[in-house]
Protein backbone atom coordinates (compact mmCIF):
# COMPACT_ATOMS: atom_id res chain seq x y z
CA UNK A 1 0.00 0.00 0.00
CA UNK A 2 1.48 3.31 -1.10
CA UNK A 3 1.03 6.09 1.47
CA UNK A 4 0.71 9.79 0.67
CA UNK A 5 3.99 11.63 1.23
CA UNK A 6 3.70 14.93 3.08
CA UNK A 7 5.27 17.87 1.26
CA UNK A 8 7.12 20.88 2.61
CA UNK A 9 4.73 23.32 4.27
CA UNK A 10 2.66 20.60 5.93
CA UNK A 11 2.85 21.06 9.70
CA UNK A 12 3.56 17.39 10.47
CA UNK A 13 7.05 17.84 8.98
CA UNK A 14 7.76 20.43 11.69
CA UNK A 15 5.99 18.65 14.56
CA UNK A 16 7.76 17.11 17.54
CA UNK A 17 7.70 13.32 17.24
CA UNK A 18 7.08 10.87 20.07
CA UNK A 19 8.97 7.74 20.99
CA UNK A 20 7.45 4.30 20.53
CA UNK A 21 7.14 1.88 23.43
CA UNK A 22 8.44 -1.68 23.08
CA UNK A 23 4.99 -3.30 23.14
CA UNK A 24 3.75 -0.74 20.60
CA UNK A 25 6.59 -1.57 18.20
CA UNK A 26 5.59 -5.24 18.23
CA UNK A 27 1.93 -4.47 17.56
CA UNK A 28 0.28 -5.47 14.29
CA UNK A 29 -0.44 -1.79 13.60
CA UNK A 30 3.22 -0.70 13.69
CA UNK A 31 4.42 -3.80 11.84
CA UNK A 32 1.90 -3.09 9.09
CA UNK A 33 2.95 0.58 9.05
CA UNK A 34 6.59 -0.42 8.56
CA UNK A 35 5.67 -2.57 5.57
CA UNK A 36 3.57 0.24 4.04
CA UNK A 37 6.45 2.67 4.56
CA UNK A 38 8.80 0.25 2.83
CA UNK A 39 6.47 -0.03 -0.15
CA UNK A 40 6.06 3.76 -0.30
CA UNK A 41 9.83 4.33 -0.17
CA UNK A 42 10.45 1.78 -2.92
CA UNK A 43 7.70 3.19 -5.10
CA UNK A 44 8.95 6.78 -4.82
CA UNK A 45 11.82 5.64 -5.16
CA UNK A 46 13.95 6.79 -2.25
CA UNK A 47 16.63 5.55 0.13
CA UNK A 48 14.86 6.59 3.33
CA UNK A 49 11.44 7.56 4.65
CA UNK A 50 10.55 8.91 8.08
CA UNK A 51 7.15 8.60 9.74
CA UNK A 52 6.46 12.38 9.67
CA UNK A 53 6.72 12.18 5.88
CA UNK A 54 3.62 9.99 5.80
CA UNK A 55 1.77 12.15 8.31
CA UNK A 56 2.69 10.46 11.61
CA UNK A 57 4.74 12.23 14.34
CA UNK A 58 6.55 9.05 15.41
CA UNK A 59 10.26 8.37 15.89
CA UNK A 60 10.38 5.76 13.16
CA UNK A 61 12.20 5.63 9.83
CA UNK A 62 12.96 3.03 7.18
CA UNK A 63 16.17 2.92 5.14
CA UNK A 64 17.41 1.00 2.10
CA UNK A 65 19.90 1.96 -0.59
CA UNK A 66 19.57 -0.69 -3.28
CA UNK A 67 22.39 -1.71 -5.59
CA UNK A 68 20.10 -1.00 -8.54
CA UNK A 69 19.91 2.68 -7.50
CA UNK A 70 23.67 2.88 -7.87
CA UNK A 71 24.04 0.85 -11.08
CA UNK A 72 23.98 3.88 -13.41
CA UNK A 73 26.33 6.04 -11.33
CA UNK A 74 30.01 6.35 -12.31
CA UNK A 75 32.39 4.39 -10.11
CA UNK A 76 34.19 7.65 -9.33
CA UNK A 77 30.97 9.14 -7.89
CA UNK A 78 30.30 6.09 -5.75
CA UNK A 79 33.88 6.16 -4.47
CA UNK A 80 33.87 9.86 -3.63
CA UNK A 81 30.53 9.60 -1.83
CA UNK A 82 31.52 6.32 -0.14
CA UNK A 83 28.22 4.92 -1.32
CA UNK A 84 27.50 1.20 -1.08
CA UNK A 85 24.27 -0.84 -1.00
CA UNK A 86 22.48 -0.79 2.36
CA UNK A 87 19.96 -3.53 3.16
CA UNK A 88 16.47 -2.63 4.34
CA UNK A 89 16.23 -1.82 8.03
CA UNK A 90 14.22 0.19 10.51
CA UNK A 91 15.38 2.69 13.12
CA UNK A 92 13.10 3.58 16.03
CA UNK A 93 13.75 6.18 18.76
CA UNK A 94 17.24 6.86 17.35
CA UNK A 95 19.93 8.83 19.14
CA UNK A 96 22.53 10.30 16.79
CA UNK A 97 26.14 11.18 17.55
CA UNK A 98 28.32 12.98 15.03
CA UNK A 99 31.77 11.39 15.01
CA UNK A 100 33.29 13.99 12.70
CA UNK A 101 32.51 17.63 11.87
CA UNK A 102 29.59 18.32 9.48
CA UNK A 103 31.83 19.47 6.65
CA UNK A 104 31.30 16.93 3.84
CA UNK A 105 29.48 18.74 1.02
CA UNK A 106 27.23 16.96 -1.47
CA UNK A 107 23.87 17.60 -3.07
CA UNK A 108 20.92 16.12 -1.22
CA UNK A 109 17.23 15.77 -2.04
CA UNK A 110 14.05 14.79 -0.22
CA UNK A 111 10.81 13.02 -1.13
CA UNK A 112 8.94 15.80 0.71
CA UNK A 113 10.53 18.43 -1.54
CA UNK A 114 10.45 16.65 -4.88
CA UNK A 115 12.15 18.22 -7.87
CA UNK A 116 14.77 20.18 -5.95
CA UNK A 117 18.20 19.62 -4.44
CA UNK A 118 20.92 21.53 -2.60
CA UNK A 119 24.35 21.11 -1.10
CA UNK A 120 24.11 20.01 2.54
CA UNK A 121 27.10 19.74 4.90
CA UNK A 122 27.05 16.44 6.79
CA UNK A 123 29.36 14.50 9.09
CA UNK A 124 31.38 11.78 7.39
CA UNK A 125 30.92 9.41 10.35
CA UNK A 126 28.10 8.94 12.83
CA UNK A 127 27.01 6.59 15.57
CA UNK A 128 23.35 5.75 16.13
CA UNK A 129 21.69 3.90 19.00
CA UNK A 130 18.13 2.84 18.21
CA UNK A 131 15.59 0.05 18.33
CA UNK A 132 14.98 -2.25 15.37
CA UNK A 133 11.65 -3.40 13.93
CA UNK A 134 11.27 -5.91 16.77
CA UNK A 135 12.09 -3.41 19.50
CA UNK A 136 15.61 -4.77 20.06
CA UNK A 137 18.47 -2.33 20.77
CA UNK A 138 20.87 -1.81 17.86
CA UNK A 139 24.04 0.24 17.46
CA UNK A 140 25.08 1.55 14.07
CA UNK A 141 28.47 2.95 13.10
CA UNK A 142 28.13 4.49 9.66
CA UNK A 143 30.29 6.46 7.28
CA UNK A 144 29.97 8.05 3.86
CA UNK A 145 26.60 8.07 2.16
CA UNK A 146 25.02 5.82 4.80
CA UNK A 147 25.96 8.37 7.46
CA UNK A 148 24.33 11.07 5.31
CA UNK A 149 21.10 9.07 4.98
CA UNK A 150 20.94 8.51 8.74
CA UNK A 151 21.46 12.21 9.45
CA UNK A 152 18.78 13.16 6.93
CA UNK A 153 16.17 10.73 8.28
CA UNK A 154 16.88 11.47 11.94
CA UNK A 155 16.59 15.18 11.15
CA UNK A 156 13.01 14.47 10.00
CA UNK A 157 12.22 13.04 13.43
CA UNK A 158 13.22 16.38 14.96
CA UNK A 159 11.20 18.48 12.53
CA UNK A 160 14.26 19.50 10.51
CA UNK A 161 14.46 19.44 6.71
CA UNK A 162 17.59 19.57 4.57
CA UNK A 163 16.65 23.10 3.51
CA UNK A 164 17.35 24.17 7.11
CA UNK A 165 20.96 23.01 6.73
CA UNK A 166 21.63 23.61 3.04
CA UNK A 167 24.04 26.04 1.47
CA UNK A 168 21.24 28.24 0.21
CA UNK A 169 23.06 29.47 -2.91
CA UNK A 170 23.24 25.89 -4.17
CA UNK A 171 19.45 25.32 -4.06
CA UNK A 172 18.49 24.09 -7.52
CA UNK A 173 15.82 22.37 -9.55
CA UNK A 174 16.76 18.81 -10.48
CA UNK A 175 16.76 19.89 -14.11
CA UNK A 176 19.44 22.51 -13.50
CA UNK A 177 21.35 20.22 -11.15
CA UNK A 178 21.57 17.62 -13.93
CA UNK A 179 22.61 20.33 -16.39
CA UNK A 180 25.24 22.12 -14.32
CA UNK A 181 26.33 20.27 -11.20
CA UNK A 182 25.74 16.51 -11.43
CA UNK A 183 29.17 15.60 -12.76
CA UNK A 184 31.13 17.88 -10.39
CA UNK A 185 33.45 16.52 -7.71
CA UNK A 186 33.16 17.75 -4.14
CA UNK A 187 36.24 19.97 -4.54
CA UNK A 188 34.82 21.47 -7.76
CA UNK A 189 31.51 22.21 -6.05
CA UNK A 190 33.25 23.92 -3.15
CA UNK A 191 35.23 26.08 -5.58
CA UNK A 192 32.21 26.88 -7.78
CA UNK A 193 30.01 28.00 -4.91
CA UNK A 194 32.83 29.92 -3.28
CA UNK A 195 33.19 31.88 -6.52
CA UNK A 196 29.44 32.49 -6.69
CA UNK A 197 29.44 33.78 -3.10
CA UNK A 198 32.35 36.11 -3.87
CA UNK A 199 30.47 37.71 -6.78
CA UNK A 200 28.27 39.73 -4.38
pLDDT in tens, 74-98: 898 899 999 999 999 999 999 999 9
Q: Which residues are catalytic?
A: 153
164-171: average pLDDT: 93
- What structural domains does the chain harbor? 11-198 (3.90.45.10)
Answer whether 166's CB lies under 8 Å from 103's CB. Answer: no
pLDDT digits (tens, 9 = 90+) for 56-68: 999 999 999 999 9
CA–CA separation, 94 and 87 (whole Å): 18
pTM of the complete model: 0.93
**Per-residue DSSP letter, 195:** H
Amino acid sequence: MRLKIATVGETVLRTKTRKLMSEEIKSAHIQELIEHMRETMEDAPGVGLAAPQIGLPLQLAVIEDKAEYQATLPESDLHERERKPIPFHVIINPELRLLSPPEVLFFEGCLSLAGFTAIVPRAARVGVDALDHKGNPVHIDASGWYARILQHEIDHLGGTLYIDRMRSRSFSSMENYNRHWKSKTQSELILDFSLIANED
